[in-house]
């Protein structure tokens, strides 16, 4: 009986630990997901951010070489910054409405969105240092905060 109680206690502890473990990863969005989580470009005329933390949106395609080079950098940043930011990726060939709404004509393109304020668009494949600088200077994220 003691063994069963110990096992139940240990299992409960492990499950609670896993429940509090944050799953910080880059999330793919389609047109509807973008409207739900970031900005409803069909209903709103002025910028109304639906999120509560800084966001980077990566506009990419699967065949784009520079996009493929930047993808691991973004995954690394999401892991390092944890719940302090969110990185979304939007495949411009599948999410045509949001891509058109933001005038995406070059990939990769990035939308840097501070928690409060207006977003900033940038085009091109950047090194990690440039993304870190954007997180600090544009988005107000001062340091790596990993909440796991």
64 is catalytic: yes
What is the domain-level CATH number for residue 115? 3.40.30.10
127 lies in some domain: yes
Give dist(CA 147, CA 11) in Å, integer: 23
Digit-coded pLDDT (tens) for 88-146:
999 999 999 999 999 999 999 999 999 999 999 999 999 999 999 999 999 999 866 55
16 lies in some domain: no
Digit-coded pLDDT (tens) for 42-94:
999 999 999 999 999 999 999 999 999 999 999 999 999 999 999 999 999 99
Q: φ and ψ at 31, to 5 degrees?
A: -55, -50
Count helices and strands (H / E) in the chain. Answer: 5, 5
Does 24 score more than 50 pLDDT? yes
Residue 128 CB partners (closer than 8 Å, separation 6+): 73, 76, 77
75 lies in some domain: yes
Does 32 score more than 60 pLDDT? yes
Q: Is 19 helix (H, G, I), strand (E, B) or coil?
A: helix
Q: Kindly state the tokens that stand for 72.
A: 């691991």
Q: Residue 103: which domain range?
A: 24-137
pLDDT at 1: 61
133 is catalytic: no
Q: Number of structural domains, the chain?
A: 1
147 lies in some domain: no
69 lies in some domain: yes
The arrangement of strands across the sheet holding 86-91 comes to 27-28, 86-91, 55-60, 109-113, 120-123
Residue from 29, 55, 57, 64 carrying the catalytic annotation: 64
143 lies in some domain: no
pTM: 0.82
91 lies in some domain: yes
Residue from 38, 55, 67, 85 carrying the catalytic annotation: 67
Give dist(CA 23, CA 82) in Å, integer: 8
């Amino acid at each position: 009986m003691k063994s069963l109680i110990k096992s139940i206690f240990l299992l409960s502890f492990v499950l609670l630990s896993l429940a509090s473990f944050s799953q910080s990863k880059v999330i793919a969005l389609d047109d509807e997901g973008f409207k739900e989580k970031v900005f409803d470009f069909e209903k709103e005329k002025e910028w109304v951010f639906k999120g509560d933390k800084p966001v980077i949106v990566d506009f990419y395609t699967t065949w784009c070489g520079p996009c493929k080079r930047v993808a691991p950098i973004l995954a690394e940043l999401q892991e390092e910054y944890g719940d302090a930011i969110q990185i979304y990726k939007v495949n411009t060939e599948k999410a045509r409405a949001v891509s058109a709404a933001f005038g995406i004509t070059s990939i990769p393109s990035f939308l840097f969105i501070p928690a409060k304020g207006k977003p900033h668009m940038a085009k091109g494949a950047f090194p990690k240092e440039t993304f870190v600088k954007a997180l600090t200077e544009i988005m107000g994220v001062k340091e790596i905060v990993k909440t796991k």
